[in-house]
Structure 1
Amino acid sequence: MRILGTHRLTKTYAGIPILTDVTIDIQAKDRIGLVGPNGAGKSTLLKILIGETSYDSGEIYHPKDVTVGYLAQNAGLVSSRSIWQEMLSVFQHLIDEERRLRHMEQLMSQGEVYQDQERYQQLLEEYSRAQDAFKAQGGYEYEAKIRNVLHGLRFAHKDYTAPVSVLSGGEKTRLALAKLLLQEPDLIMLDEPTNYLDLDTLSWLENYLSAYPGAILIVSHDRYFLDRLATVIYELDHTKITCYQGNYSAFIQQKSARLEQQLKQYRRQQQEIARAEEFIQRNIARASTSKRAQSKRKMLEKMEVVERPRTEHKTALFRFEAGRPSGYDVLKVEGLKLGYDQHHVLAQNISFSVFRADRIAVVGPNGIGKTTLLKTITGQLPRLSGTIQIGAHVKFGYFDQEHDKLHPHKTVLAEVWDDYPHLQEQEVRSLLGQFLFSGEDVNKTVSALSGGERARLALAKLMLEQANTLILDEPTNHLDIYAKEVLEEALEAFPGTIIFVSHDRYFLNRLATKVIRLTARGAEMYLGNYDYYLEKRKEQAEIEALGQQKALEQSTKPEQHNYELEKARQRELRKLKRRKEQLEGEIKQTEEMIKTLEEQLYSPDVYQDYEQAQEVQRHIDAARQTLDQLLEEWAELEEQLH
C-alpha cells in the first residue's frame, strides 16, 4: 500500500536548482535509506514531504489518514515537563481511557447501581467493551514500552523525574527520538539519527527499527546502519534521484553497473554521431548523395542525446605520509587510571601494547573515557596513575573531534599558513584545494565553516604534520559518504600506526586490525575488525550463560536433568567449534607475522644493524612462542571434538 510519494517534484533556491523531477514511492513497510553528498538537498526533500518547505512544481501524494513523524538533525526536545511526563504525553488517550475505566469501576461498586440490575448490566457490558479496547490498544503495556525505549536509548541511569530542560543537547535529541518511536506514526522520517549514539545504542536502534510496524525513511551517512536496515536506497545527486533495490552494499554494486552501462551507451552513441556527421560533411554537397545526407542530418536533429554519466564527485584527494618511521614498540600502557581527578575516575587498570602498523579501534559506551584515553596518551591530560611508555621516534598526530585547536577568527588560509610559514602561498592554496577549499573559500573565517569543512581543514593540517602515529577521535564525523571513503583509502595506505575512536562501524570494520574495549574496570584487546569483536563478545556472553545454566542444572528436577544436560553439551560443542575456527585464523595471522619479521631480519638494513636485528629476533621468538601455544590449544580442541 502506497502511503506517501512524489511525482516530478522540482525545487529551486535563488534560481539554483535543488531538486529536479524527483519521484519517490513509499510503501507501508518500506525501509528506505536516502543518501547523497552533503548539500545535495536530502534534508530539503524531507522538509517538503512534511509540508515545512514549499516546492515549485510537481505533485505530492499524502493520504489524510497516514501519520508521518519527522526528526530533524540535532533536533532536541524542548519541554518544561519531566522525562517521564514527556513520554507519558504520547499515551494521553490511554491515560484518559484508564481514568474512565476506574470511574466505571467506582460506579459499579456503589450500592444503588448494583441494586438496579438493568443499569448495572448496561454498565458492565460497556465496561467490558472499553476494557477490551483498552487492552487492544496496549493500555496495560505502555509504561513497559516507555521504559524499554528509554533504556535502549541510554536513559536507564537517569532520574525520570528530572526536567527535560536540564539534559544536554545530545540527550535532548535522543529523547526526541524516543518520543517519536513511542508515537509509532505510519511513516518515520529521520535525518541523521545516528549522531550522539554509541555503538550499543546504535545496535539497539537497528533492532527496534527492523521490527517497527510502519515505514521508515532515513537520511544517513552510516553505511553499516544502512546495510543492516535498508531494503531500498534512493540516491539524491546533482538534483536528481535514483532508486536502487537492496541495502547500501547492493546499491554500490548496482550503481557501479548502471554507470558502466550508461558510459557504454554514451560512447556508442557518440561514435554513431561522429560517423553520421562525417557522412553528412562528405556527401551534403554531392547531388547524388545530398538527399541521404539531409536524411542523416534530420535523424541527428531528432536523436535523443544520451548525457555523459557523472562518474565522479568533487571529493578531497590526499594521503598521509610519515616523516620518519617509529620503532617496532610504539606504546605500552600499564595500570592506567583515567579521569579528571581522583574523585572523578572514568576507568582504571587499563593495560595494552601498541606495535608499529597497528590499526587499533577503541570502543566502549559514551562517557567511559575514550576521548580522555586518547588525550592522556598524547599528553594533553595528566594520568591519575599508571605508566605510559612511548617508543623510539614516535611522533603523534592528533585529530580532535571538536576541532578545538582551530582558531575561529582566522581565515582558512591563515590557519594553515601561520603554522607552516616556510610554505609558499601557492603551495598552501594548492594543498587546501586538495581538501576542496578553492578560490575565495580560503578567505572564509573558521567560525563560518560547516562541520564538514572544519573536519577537512583539520585533516589538511594533520597531513602536513607527517606524524608516524595518528591518534584520531571521531574522524568521520560531519563527513559525507564520499569523503569518508577517501579518508579510509588514505588511512589504509598510511605506513604508520593508527589508534582511533569512532562510532562509524563501517569505518571500524574496514580499518581496524585490533579492537580495545574500554570499561570502567580495564581494557580488553581483541584481534580482528569490528565484526570479529562482536562475534567474540557474543561468544563470551554464551559462555557466561552456560555457566548460569550449569548452576541452574543443580536445582532442576531429576527428569529434566538429562534433557538440560544434553542442551548444555550441544552448546559447549558449538562453542568449541567456534574457538577452533578462531584459533585457525589466529594461527594463520601469527604465521604471516613471523614470515614478515623474518623477511625484515634478512634485509641488509636490519641484519647489518646489530641492535635492530636483536629487536626483530626478539619479536620473532615471541611470535613463535605464541604460535606454539595456539597450536597446542588447537590440538587439544581437535581431540575433544573427535
Structure 2
Amino acid sequence: MILLQVQQVTRRFGASVLFSNVSLDVPEHGRVALVGRNGAGKSTLLKMIAGETTPDEGQITTKRGLTFGYQAQNAGLASTKTVWAEMMSVFAKLQTMEKRMHELEVSMSDPDIIANQEQFNQVSATYDQLQQDFSDQNGYGYQAEIRGVLHGFEFDEDYYDKPINELSGGQRTQLALAKLLLERPDLLILDEPTNHLDVETLTWLEGYLQGYPGAILVVSHDRYFLDHVVNDVYDMAHGGLVHYPGNYSHYIDAKAERLRREWKEYDKQQTEISKLEDFVNKNIVRASTTKRAQARRKQLEKMDRIDRPEGDEKVARFTFRPHRQSGNIVLDVVNGAIGYDNQTLCTPVNLDIKKHQAVAIVGPNGIGKSTLLKTILGRLPAIQGQIIFGTGVDTGYYDQDQATLHPKKTVLHELWDDHPTTPEGDIRSILGSFLFTGSDVDKAVHSLSGGEKARLLLTKLALRHDNFLMLDEPTNHLDIDSREVLENALNEFDGTILFVSHDRYFINQVATEVVELEPSGTTRYLGNYDYYVDKKAEQDAYAAQEAAEAEAAHPTVDQPKQTQVNYQQQKDQQKAKRKLSRQVEALEEQMNDLDAKKTAVETEMSAPENFNDADKLADLQQELTDVTTQLNETEESWTEKSLALEDFED
C-alpha cells in the first residue's frame, strides 16, 4: 500500500524553477531517502510533503487518516515543561485510561457494588475491556519506552526534572526527535536527523529506525546512516528526481551504471549523426548522389535525438600538496591530560603518529575530541603530559567552528590577503576550482552558507601546503558530492592526517587507524571505522563472557587466619566476628548480583524490539519490581551487619 504520493510537483522561485514534474512514492513500512546537493530543493520538497507549503504545480496525496511527524533541520523543542513531563504528555490518553482503571478497581471493591451482581458484572466487563485496550496500546510499557528513548539520546535520570527551555539548542533538537519517535506517526519525515549526534547515539538511532513500525522519509548527508536505514533512494538533481531501489551504496553503483549506459547510447547516436551529416555535406551538391543526400537529411530531421546525459553538477577540484616532507615521527603525546579549568576530560592521552598515517579520533560528545586538537596546537594548555612534534612538521588546522574566517572580508580577500604576492587571476582561478566563480568571490564571508564557508576554509588550507593536517569535523556543512571530493583529496595527500569526525562513512574511506577517547584515556585500533566496531564488539563479548564465568563460579570468601588464643571467650568472639564478616561479604556479593540483574532487566526493557510487546514488558516490570525489593532488603541487612562488624572492630 502506498502511504504518500508526490505527483508531477513543481516549485518556482520567481522566474527560476527549483524543480519540476517530480514524483515520489512512500510505501507502507517504506524506508525512503532523498539525496542531492545543497540547494537542490530537498528541504523544500519535505516542507511541501509536511503541508507547510504548497506546490506551484502537481499534487501530494496521502492515505486516508495518515498520521505523520515532521522534524525540520535543527528544529528544537520549545517547552517550559520538564523533560519527563514533556515526554509523558505523548501518552496522555494512556494516563487517562490508567486513572479510569484505578477508579474501576476501587468500584469493584465497593461492598454495595459487590452485592449487586449485575452492577458488578457490568463494572468488571468495562474494566476488562479497558485493561485489554490499555495493554494493547503499550500501557504497561510506555514509561520504559520513554526511558529507553531518552537513554538512546543520552539523557539520563539527572535530566528528567530539568526544564527543557534551560537546555542547549542541540539538546532541544534531540528532545524534539525523541518526542516524535515516541508519538509513532505512520510516517516520519526527518530532515538531517543525524546532525550533531555522536557515534554512540547515531548507532542507537539506526537500530531504532530499523525496527520502527511506520514508514520513514529522510534527508541526510550521512552515507553510513543511509546504508543502514533506507531501502529506496530518490536523487534530486538538475531540477528532477530519479528513483533508485536499494540503500545508498546500491544507489551509487546504479547511478554510475545508468550514466554509463546513457553515455554509450548518446555516443552511438552522435557517431551515427556525424556520419549522416558528413554524407549530406559531401553529396548534396552532386547530381548523382543528391537524392541519397536528401534522404539522409530527412532521416536526420526525423531522428529522435538523445539529450546529452546530465552527470553530476560541477564539483570542487582540489588537492593537498605539501611543500616538503616531514620526518617519520610526526607527533607524540605522552601521558597527556586534557580539559578546561583543571577539569580533566580524558587521561592518559597517548598518541604515536607516524608519517603517512591517517588517524581518526572518535568518542562521545563532550569527551574532549576538539579540545585534544586545540591542546596539541597549543591553543589550550595541557593539564599534564608531553606533546612532541617531529622534525620538519608543518601543521595545518581546519576549525569546525569556522572562527578563523573574517566575517567582513570578501571571499576574494579572505584568500588574497594570506597570499598578497599571488596575482589576482591566480587567486580567482583557485577559488573557481572550489566552486567560487563570478560574483561569488565578491560576497562577504558573513553572508556565506555553512557549506560555502567550509569550502573557503578548505581553499585556505590547500594553499598552505602543510604536511600534517589536523581536521576538526571537516565534513560538517558539506553535501555528499563535496565530501567525496574531500575524501579523494585526502587519500591522495602525500602527508599525515589527524582528524575528528562523526561521519563514519568518511572515517571508513580515510582512516588508517582509529583512536577512541574515553575518560580513562585513549585506545588505539589499527584499522578503519568498521574494524573499530568489530573489535569493540569482540572485546565486549569477551568481557561479558568473563563476567558470566566469574558469576557462575561464585568463588568462596577467603577465611582470615586467626591466631590461637588461650581464652575461650576471645576464641568465641573471633569466631563470631569471622561469621559476621562472611555474612557481610556474602551480602555484598548478593547486592552486586542483584544490581547487575536490575541493570540487565532495565536494559532489556529499554530495547526497541520490546516496546510493542506489552506482555513481555509487564513480565519485565514485575521482574524489575521483585529484584528492586530484594536489593533494598539486602542493602538493609548489609547495613545492619556492617554496623555490628564495626562494633567488633572498635
Normalising TM by the smaller chain, what interval?
A: 0.7 to 0.9
Question: Is the 8 Å Cα contact of residues 2 and 63 (structure 2) preserved in structure 1?
Answer: no
Shift of 1:166: 0.9
Tell me the alpha carbon deviations over residues 129-161 of structure 1, each in whole angstroms, 9 at most, x when there is no partner: 010011001011110001100001111264211
CA offset digits 1:25-79 (Å, max 9, x no partner): 1111111121111111111111111111221222222123111111111011111
1:432 maps to which residue?
431
Partner AA of 1:6 in structure 2: V
Alpha-carbon spacing, 1:412–1:102, altered in 2? closer, same or farther (3 Å): same
Question: Which aligned pairs between 1:196-211 and structure 2 lie closer than 5 A?
Answer: 196-211=196-211
Whether 1:538 and 2:534 are equivalent positions in the alignment is no
How far does residue 351 in structure 1 lie from its aligned partner after superposition?
Answer: 1.5
Separation in 2 of the partners of 1:288 and 1:337?
A: 92
> Cα 1:509–1:130, aligned 2, differ >3 Å: closer, same or farther?
same
The letter for the 1-side match of 2:487 is E
> 1:275-325 deviations in whole A, cap 9, x for unaligned?
344455566677887776666555544433211112232111111111121
Change (3 A) 1:288 1:92: farther
Q: Match for residue 611 of structure 1?
A: none
> What does residue 104 of structure 1 align with?
104
Q: For the structure 1 residues 418 and 526, does the alpha-carbon distance in structure 2 shift closer, same or farther, using more than 3 Å as the test?
A: same
Work out whether 1:119 is the aligned partner of 2:119.
yes
Match of 1:66 in 2: 66
Contact 2:333 2:388 in 1 (8 A): yes
Alpha-carbon deviations, 1:355-405, whole Å to 9, x = none? 111110000000000000000001110111111111111121110000111
Cα offset, 1:531, TM superposition = 0.8
Report how far residue 514 of structure 1 moved: 1.0
Aligned to 1:392: 391
* Partner amino acid, structure 1, of 2:178: A
Shift of residue 271, structure 1, vs aligned partner: 2.5
In structure 2, what is the Cα distance between the partners aligned to 1:167 and 1:207? 26
Cα distance in 2, alignment partners of residues 489 and 135 from structure 1: 54
Partner of 2:487: 488
| Runs (5+) with no aligned partner, structure 1 | 557-642
Task: State the Cα distance separating 1:476 from its structure 2 match.
Answer: 0.5
Distance (Å, rounded) in 2 between the aligned partners of 1:303 and 1:123? 81
Range with greater deviation from structure 2 (301-310 or 16-25): 301-310
Instruction: Provide the rounded CA distance (Å) in 2 between the counterparts of 1:69 and 1:290.
Output: 68
Give 2:594's aligned residue: none
Residue matched to 2:357: 358
Q: Secondary structure at the match of 2:319?
A: coil
Mapped partners of 2:192, 2:311: distance in 1: 25
- Cα distance in 2 for partners of 1:447, 1:189 equals 31
Deviation at 1:340?
0.9
Q: TM-score, normalised by structure 1?
A: 0.84
Give distance in 2, aligned partners of 1:281 and 1:362: 65
Partner Cα separation in structure 1 for residue 350 and residue 280 of structure 2: 78
Counterparts in 2 of 1:280 and 1:428: CA distance versus 1, 3 Å: closer
State the distance in 2 between where 1:234 and 1:536 align. 34
Cα distance in structure 2, aligned partners of 1:336 and 1:170: 29
Confirm whether residue 407 of structure 1 aligns to residue 375 of structure 2: no
Q: Secondary structure at the match of 1:311?
A: coil
Q: Secondary structure at the match of 2:45?
A: helix
Quote how far apart the aligned CAs of 1:196 are.
Answer: 1.1
1:107 shift after superposition: 2.3
SS at match of 1:262: helix
Task: Indicate the SS of the match to 2:32.
Answer: strand
Measured in 1, the distance between the counterparts of 2:430 and 2:286 equals 57
- C-alpha distance in 1, partners of 2:130/2:297? 78
How many pairs align?
A: 555
Alpha-carbon RMSD across the aligned residues, in angstroms, is 1.7
CA displacement, residues 99-150 of structure 1 (integer Å, 9 cap, x when unaligned): 2212222222223222222111111101100100110010111100011000
In the alignment, the residues of structure 2 paired with residue 273 and residue 16 of structure 1 have an alpha-carbon distance, to the nearest angstrom, of 33
Measure the CA separation in 2 of the matches of 1:157 and 1:346. Answer: 21
Q: Residue type matched to 1:20 in 2?
A: S
1:56-455 superposed matches below 5 A: 56-156=56-156, 158-281=158-281, 296-342=296-342, 344-455=343-454
Higher relative contact order (CA 8 A, sep 6+): 2
**1:10 pairs with 2:37:** no
- Contact 2:50-2:189 within 8 A present in 1 as well: no
1:464-613 equivalences under 5 Å are: 464-555=463-554
SS of 1:61's partner is: strand
* Whole-Å separation in 2 of the counterparts to 1:109 and 1:291: 106
Q: 1:280 to 1:426 in 2, by over 3 A?
A: closer
More deviation in 373-382 or 460-469? 460-469
Structure 2, unmatched stretches of 5+, are: 556-650
Q: Give the aligned partner of residue 572 of structure 1.
A: none
Corresponding residue for residue 457 of structure 1: 456
Which entry has the higher C-alpha Rg, 1 or 2? 2
**TM-score, normalised to structure 2's length?**
0.83
Aligned-pair distance for 1:553? Answer: 2.4
Letter in 1 for 2:525: Y
One-letter amino acid of the structure 1 residue matched with residue 453 of structure 2? R
Separation in 2, partners of 1:294, 1:54: 52
* d(CA) in 2 for partners of 1:466, 1:294: 61
Alpha-carbon distance, 1:460 to partner: 0.8
State the secondary structure of the residue aligned to 1:313: coil
| Structure 1 residue 206, shift from structure 2 partner | 0.7
